[in-house]
Copies of this chain bind each other. A is one copy, B any other.
Amino acid sequence: MELRQLKYFVVVAEEGNFGAAARRLNISQPPITRQIKKLEDELGVVLLKRTPKGAQMTAAGQVFLEGARQALTQIKTSVERSRAAQRGEIGTLEVAYFGSPIYAVLPDLLQAFRRAMPEVRVSLQRLSKSEQIAALKVGQIHMGFGRYYPAEPGIVVEQLLSEGLSVALPESYTDVPPVGQRLELFKAMPVVLFPRSGRPNFADEVLSILKREGVDPQVADVTEDVRSALTLTAIGEGATIVPGTVTKFAWSGVRFYPLEQLSMECPVSFIYRKGDTSPLLRAIYSTVRAYQQAHNTRAQSM
């Protein structure tokens, strides 16, 4: 069976006669006769009753017409959907994250992506950095977000943004030094660090930054994540140093104070598979780029 035969048959059915169908299809009449006959032979079904005043459908023809129409439109819409998929406009974007980017960076970024590609479903999962790399390699995710990724062949790491640090102190703590002298705090007060896993990580980076600034704090605890750390701070176990974006939200029992020193910046990065040409990666990548633009512009204007 040929698609051509279905098309011809549908047109003949619509026109009610072979000649008119031929004219609408911009071909001569004999091919219509031949293709329809061929179709009928293959089906073993008489689709049209030929009369001297045209062709009229048999019951079997009616039934087949319905199916032929559906198949043709099915193909047509599939083509459109496939083209949309190629443009990255439909499908499922698989994203993984680890750590604090989930609190402010990813919501903004994915909202922007949703606005740009409303038909794309977004799947989000928490994976450690090593899990993200493994998932990328087997094609399970398109992009991962986090900090301090190790170099890995076949994986591209790019920095999304760099943010300042803040220190979280218990609400009750009132004797806060002014900006620029806040590192003094850590001479008397222990720090709570996070996360515990995935070295090198934010905890390691914080320690190395403090050491560079000449501070060697006492470590009260190293928790799994920022939530646990801030809870410990709230009950007075020590101060927590957090990335700036975390301070956008209210956490009960703690207050945030910026550590405004240029050297004290921590980056958020994203990773993706090298040579991944999938449309969804291209789509999220351009959203990421736009996000970077917006972020830098805002930073400059501040």
Query: Is A280 located at the chain interface by the 8 A CB criterion?
Result: yes
Q: A58-B86, A59-B85, A278-B58 are in contact. Are A71 and B78 (CB under 8 A)?
A: yes
Cβ contact of A63, chosen from B4, B67, B70, B78, cutoff 8 A: B78
User: CB within 8 Å of B: which of A258-289?
Assistant: 278-280
Decide if A60 touches B279 in the complex (CB within 8 Å). yes
Which residue of chain B lies nearest to A86 when distances are taken between CB atoms in the complex? B60
Q: Is A79 an interface residue (CB 8 A)?
A: yes
Interface presence of A68 (CB below 8 A): yes
Assembly stoichiometry (copies): 2
Which of A39-47, A187-195, A209-217 is the interface stretch?
A: A39-47
The reply on A74 being an interface residue by CB < 8 A is yes
In whole angstroms, what is the CA distance A68 to B280 when docked?
22
Task: Determine how close the nearest CB of chain B comes to the CB of A141; give it in whole angstroms.
Answer: 13
Q: Which of A22-73 contact B (CB under 8 A)?
A: 43-47, 58-64, 66-68, 70-71
Interface string of A59-100 (1 = CB under 8 A from B): 111111011101100110111011111101011000000000
Contact yes or no, A86 B2, CB < 8 A: no
Residues of B within 8 A of A44 (CB): 83, 86
Residue-wise interface mask of A (230-249) relative to B, using a CB-CB cutoff of 8 A (1 in contact, 0 not):
00000000000000000000
Contact (A67, B43) CB under 8 Å given A75-B1, A278-B58: no
A71 to B58, CA, bound (A): 23
Known: A2-B3, A71-B71, A279-B59. A66 touches B78 (CB 8 A): yes
Q: Are A74 and B71 in contact (CB under 8 A)?
A: yes
Nearest-neighbor residue (CB-CB) of A79 within chain B? B43
Q: How far is the CB of A60 from chain B (nearest CB, A)?
A: 4
Of the candidates B6, B64, B75, the one whose C-beta lies within 8 Å of that of A68 is B75
Contact A85 B60, beta carbon cutoff 8 Å: yes
How far apart sit A84 and B68, CA to CA, in the bound complex (Å)? 16
Q: With CB as the reference atom, state the residue of chain B lying closest to A4.
A: B2
Partner of A74, one of B4, B60, B67, B86: B67
A75 to B70, alpha carbons, bound, how many Å? 9
Closest 8 CB pairs of A and B: A67-B78, A64-B82, A60-B86, A60-B85, A63-B85, A71-B74, A60-B82, A3-B3
6 sample A-B contacts, Cβ–Cβ < 8 Å, listed by A number: A1-B79, A45-B85, A60-B279, A64-B79, A64-B81, A68-B75
**Taking beta carbons and an 8 Å cutoff, which residues of A are in contact with B?**
1-4, 6, 43-47, 58-64, 66-68, 70-71, 74-75, 77-79, 81-86, 88, 90-91, 278-280
